[in-house]
Amino acid sequence: MTKQYNFLNSGLDDTGNWFQGNPNFEKILSSGPEHRVTLDLKKHLAAQASRIETDLDRILTDTTLAQETVRPPRLLAAMRHGALNGGKRLRPILVLECARLFGRTDEGVQQAACALELIHCYSLVHDDLPAMDDDDLRRGQPTVHKAFDEATGILAGDALLTLAFDIIAEDPVHSDPAVRLRLSRELSRAAGIGGMAGGQMLDLLSEHRDRTEEEIRQLQSMKTGALLRYACRSGAILANAGEDDVDRLTRFGEIVGLAFQLADDLLDVEASAEDMGKATGKDAEAGKATLVGLWGVEKTRNELERLSRDAEMLLGTYGSSAATLTAIAGFIVNRSN
Ligand code: GRG
């Protein structure tokens, strides 16, 4: 039995009404015809998150695959704790929505989306470890190393990461093996030394040191931005979009990545641990260089508004077909957890 995901503390209920009660989203809803998303959209996005949760539940079983020996129950339980614990599923939803924009909606896209979410979950499990952020709470629950132990947390992250590359290589992801190879390589680059892991290294090195705006932008585009960029780009690739469209969706992913990080930094300053399901105020405590620290809250909010408009303009090319994606960008800018 999978746990009910919690898309927004202020919103998702059993019927999937995840915008309910969020004043920021109500503002988006009423701000103009281009943002006039319907109840159907709420249900649609909740259904996407639910499908991801169900697929992850299916992927993380004790059934061994060819060439595997056994799946140790304790390691599997730790992986499930790290992956099936109520994430917003933003990255896989972006994969699904970007692929949908170009007409692809089948199970193979779903599988590619799950591969990305496994990598995101691994990064959270490792980020929470004592050697990194040393957090006790994630998504409102004990972190994996707290619920199990440190060694198991490290192994659970390792196994989630490697499983992602198994999943993305499978036939249903794309009929053309060359496309699967491209996705696998791009996923590796988004997650690895020149992407998320490299960004995490730069972030650790930036603690208690002054950093220029350029340096902060670079490390954040790697640490947080790379997976979000890949999410949007891979959706277009999965759906055989032309290279111009892949480039446009890549740019959209970059905007979303920066907006996500700015919103996260603001929440770290302003939100409560209860709202976030994790400790807040961590950046200042660790002496981390952030754009909010450099700019202050007001300039950051203005920048978020600008990014939201940029995202909307970029997607304007696709007319109403991009309404869901535009709304997701709005949600990321205005999110409350
Ligand atoms: C350990 C290689 C390695 C990388 C860690 C994920 C990460 C890189 C750092 C986490 C620190 C942090 C809070 C970054 C801000 C952006 C972020 C990844 C927030 C969590 O993502 P959400 O809000 O989480 O999408 P959910 O729980 O909804 O999946």
72: in domain: yes
177: in domain: yes
CA of 224 to the centre of ligand 1 (A): 7
Whole-model pTM: value is: 0.87
200: in domain: yes
Nearest CA to ligand 1 atom 3: 123
| Whether residue 87 has its Cβ less than 6 Å from ligand 1 | yes
224: in domain: yes
Q: Which residues contact 181 (CB under 8 A, 6 or more apart)?
A: none
CA of 227 to the centre of ligand 1 (A): 10
Using most ligand atoms within 8 A of CB, pick from 93, 95, 123, 230 the residue to mutate for ligand 1.
Answer: 123
CB-based contact 259:332 (threshold 8 Å): yes
Q: Which residues contact 14 (CB under 8 A, 6 or more apart)?
A: 4
Helix (H) or strand (E) holding 138: strand 137-138
Q: Which of 72, 78, 59 is nearest to 165 (CA)?
A: 59
Can you give the residue range of the structural domain that contains 225?
23-334
6: in domain: no
CATH of the domain at 145: 1.10.600.10
User: Which residues of the chain fall below pLDDT 50?
Assistant: 1-38
CA of 223 to the centre of ligand 1 (A): 8
| Whether residue 90 has its Cβ less than 6 Å from ligand 1 | yes
**Per-residue pLDDT reduced to its tens digit, 9-54:** 323 333 333 333 333 334 334 444 434 444 566 677 788 899 999 9
Instruction: Tell me what pLDDT residue 47 has.
Output: 85
Instruction: Tell me what pLDDT residue 331 has.
Output: 81
Using most ligand atoms within 8 A of CB, pick from 45, 124, 129, 222 the residue to mutate for ligand 1.
Answer: 124
236: in domain: yes
239: in domain: yes
CA of 185 to the centre of ligand 1 (A): 21
Instruction: Tell me what pLDDT residue 181 has.
Output: 98
**Per-residue pLDDT reduced to its tens digit, 183-237:** 999 999 999 999 999 999 999 998 888 889 999 999 999 999 999 999 999 999 9
52: in domain: yes
- The torsion of the CA quartet 267, 260, 221, 248, rounded to 10 degrees, works out to -170
Instruction: Tell me what pLDDT residue 43 has.
Output: 74
Q: What's the number of domains the chain is made of?
A: 1
